Chains A and B, each alone.
Chain A
């Protein structure tokens, strides 16, 4: 079973990487961009029987180390 964890900076926190890339796209002539953001994806393969168990385990990983709740939020998809 594969878990896909998407981590992004919390709303309202400035993402300088996204801002820089957006500016460079605008410099290349793309004038219609009204928003730009970056996310990070972790793909974890798990040897467990159920999606529920996979989600529980991955939730714990997020809480313990993968995500810093002060600045980041995340979503989990089990595939």
Chain B
């Protein structure tokens, strides 16, 4: 069973649930942020949106909600946790991933399809991609500029934690074109692009689908 976490202001939850249920054919349930029991879950997706209206910092308030201690427990147990867009911001602010997402360098909300290069396929979410492969997914964010200190950046490179980089122009000013990062164990990943909006041909592309397929495959192999 995969859970899709809903905070007030989350707005991509139904899209992710649809993809997991219809395109990937896997059991999925919404998880309201006040739910107290996540024991039945094998994996979790924190979808995009504007949790708590993006007040304070994007993702900051959601990241400190009590349910996050259970999310951290799942992460420690090695269960896959995927943060998309606002979900990525939440994972960073909660300390589950290194770095932070600052305001886009152009200050504008950017909404378009982008090319992305797969930097690392050795984690729970990227198995079905080739290293160096260029894929297309849409982005839609105002605070997507990935930043961290130099030491963390080198450490991430050394440990192969950068999973995706923007392959064309850098849409938000992210350090070293970073679009997605994973933890060292490879079971927690965050990315600014929206794989759920690129999982069915009718929406313009299917390049994002393999992230969910890989996640589900890794769960079923356990």
Instruction: State which size class the interface on A falls in.
Output: 10 to 19
Which of these, A16, A20, A66, contacts B56 with CB under 8 Å?
A66
Is B57 among interface residues, defined by CB-CB distance under 8 A? yes
Given known A-B contacts A14-B173, A71-B147, A65 and B102 have beta carbons under 8 A apart: no
Looking at B3-11, B43-51, B103-111, B207-215, the stretch in contact with chain A turns out to be B103-111
Name the A residues within 8 Å of B57 (CB-CB). 68
Instruction: Return the CB mask of A28-67 against B: 1 if under 8 Å, else 0.
Output: 0000000000000000000000000000000000001110
Name the A residues within 8 Å of B64 (CB-CB). 64-65
Is B100 among interface residues, defined by CB-CB distance under 8 A? yes
CB pair B103 A65 closer than 8 Å: no
Is B99 among interface residues, defined by CB-CB distance under 8 A? yes
Q: What separation, in Å, do the CA atoms of A71 and B92 have in the docked complex?
A: 12
Is B148 among interface residues, defined by CB-CB distance under 8 A? yes
Name the A residues within 8 Å of B92 (CB-CB). 70
Q: What separation, in Å, do the CA atoms of A65 and B64 have in the docked complex?
A: 7
For B56, B60, B92, B106, which residue has the most chain A Cβ atoms within 10 angstroms? Answer: B56
Interface contacts (Cβ under 8 Å), in number, total 33
Would you list 11 pairs from A and B whose C-beta atoms are within 8 A, ordered by A residue?
Answer: A14-B105, A16-B105, A16-B107, A17-B103, A17-B107, A20-B107, A64-B64, A65-B56, A66-B56, A70-B148, A71-B100
Name the A residues within 8 Å of B105 (CB-CB). 14, 16
Instruction: State which size class the interface on B falls in.
Output: 10 to 19
Is B13 among interface residues, defined by CB-CB distance under 8 A? no
Which of these, B60, B99, B103, contacts A16 with CB under 8 Å?
B103
Among residues of A, the one whose C-beta sits closest to the C-beta of B93 is A68
Name the B residues within 8 Å of A66 (CB-CB). 56
Among residues of B, the one whose C-beta sits closest to the C-beta of A71 is B100
Instruction: Return the CB mask of B92-135 against A: 1 if under 8 Å, else 0.
Output: 11000001101111110000000000000000000000000000
Name the B residues within 8 Å of A14 (CB-CB). 105, 173
